[in-house]
Amino acid sequence: MATSANERLADEAIHHALDLHAYSNGVVRRLLALLARTDARLFTQLQIALGTLDPESFTVQRLELLLQSVRRLNAEVYAQFSEALTADLRDLAGTEAQYHAELFRAVLPVQLNVASVAQDQVYAAAMSRPMQGRLLKEWAASIEGDRMTRIRDNLRQGYVEGKTTAQMVTELRGTRAKGYSDGIIEIDRRNAAAVVRTAVSHVAGTARDQFNRANIDLIKAEQWLATLDSRTSSICRLRDHKQYTPGDHKPIGHSLPWLAGPGRAHWQCRSCSAPITKSWEELGGLAGPDLSATERASMDGQVPAELDYGGWLAKQSAARQDEVLGPTRGALLRRGGMTLDKFANDKGVQLTLDQLRERNAAAFKRAGI
């Protein structure tokens, strides 16, 4: 159980990162469903347009004319996609700003003055700062244009190779039997999902930065916390638990640069950071003379001990373990003697409960399930 202020802040930072990951998955599902609903209309329109083009009289110019209506529909759906994502991110900016202020006020002694940051401040900062080299609105325009270019180029090649309209549309969209996941434009769905997840972590990271800057008088360092599993990037693995100065993010005791920061260091980055607050002695007169002995002890200014994700999860309550893993895996962790790495195969893919039971029948028996 976390006892010092910095231990509690690190503990909550990891848990909040998991919540953000779950939130981004929900946004991805909703926005990809929006694209999928429009795909049916787009490909019906495409099939009608192509049906009027005689393969014998095919030219690039004629194809471009026929694709105008399809291009308009594609632009409309990505405008809806961008509008929905922007609304979600604006709400997230406010939620994150409020979360950090409430967490500090819950963890630190009430005598300390915790500054808040405004939703508009966080949102404006996130939208004006490049995300993987481009602004968010530029990425939205890019994935719209890339999909239309992919459709156009594959149709050109299809006509040259003598394919039928039905063959070309199926190659582009995919088959119903496979949920349309085997089509050429599946890459555009994956790209859209990557933009959404990266945008969520970009806004969350910006909110964290803005809040820490507003409270720099309370913070002496920021600690990078990586989600350590088989999918962790080398960028984040190297920086896990490394400390940086607040505000300007200069390395402390090492030479690894901050880059864009945790959650923004690369596409779909899952890292976060935790503030290391000053001790009550380092705070000087800020904490006031009326801190209790317990409050002074909690404000020790010490850096929390290093824990990997499995170690962190093992320290959590049963309720939180079940929240993260699900009740069956939670029971296997607590009573079945299983460690976190046993829940996935050697490629890091989570095993189903049936697969787990087949491989670890004794653990299920020990857990009483």
**Residue 353: exposed, middle, or buried by beta-carbon count in 10 A (0-12, 13-18, 19+)?**
middle
The 10s digit of each residue's pLDDT in 99-130 is: 999 999 999 988 889 999 999 999 999 999 99
Structure-model confidence comparison of residues 71 and 308, the more confident one: 71
Q: What is the DSSP letter of 112?
A: S
Hey, is 299 helix, strand or coil?
Answer: coil
Indicate if the pLDDT at residue 288 is higher than 60.
Answer: no
Residue 312 has pLDDT above 90, yes or no: no
Q: For the chain, what percent of residues have pLDDT higher than 70?
A: 90
Q: Which residues contact 26 (CB under 8 A, 6 or more apart)?
A: none
The candidate with the shortest Cα–Cα distance to 74, out of 37, 39, 47, is 39
List, in sequence order, every residue forming a beta bridge with 224; answer none if it has no partner: 273
Strands 219-225 and 272-277: antiparallel
**For residue 277, which phi and psi values (nearest 5 degrees)?**
-80, 160
Question: Of 329 and 88, which is predicted with more confidence?
Answer: 88
> For 181-262, where are the alpha helices, taking DSSP H only?
186-214, 234-239
pLDDT in tens, 228-260: 665 778 899 889 999 999 999 999 999 999 999
**pLDDT of 62 over the 80 cut:** yes
Residue 299 is predicted with a pLDDT of 65
Neighbours of 13 (CB within 10 A): 20
| 185-203 confidence digits (pLDDT tens) | 999 999 999 999 999 999 9
Cβ atoms of 277 and 220 within 8 Å: the answer is yes
Most distant CA atoms of the chain, gap in Å: 89
Half-sphere exposure (CA, 13 Å, Cβ side) for 50?
22
Over residues 269-288, the mean pLDDT reads 83
Residue pair 216/191 in contact by the 8 Å Cβ criterion: no
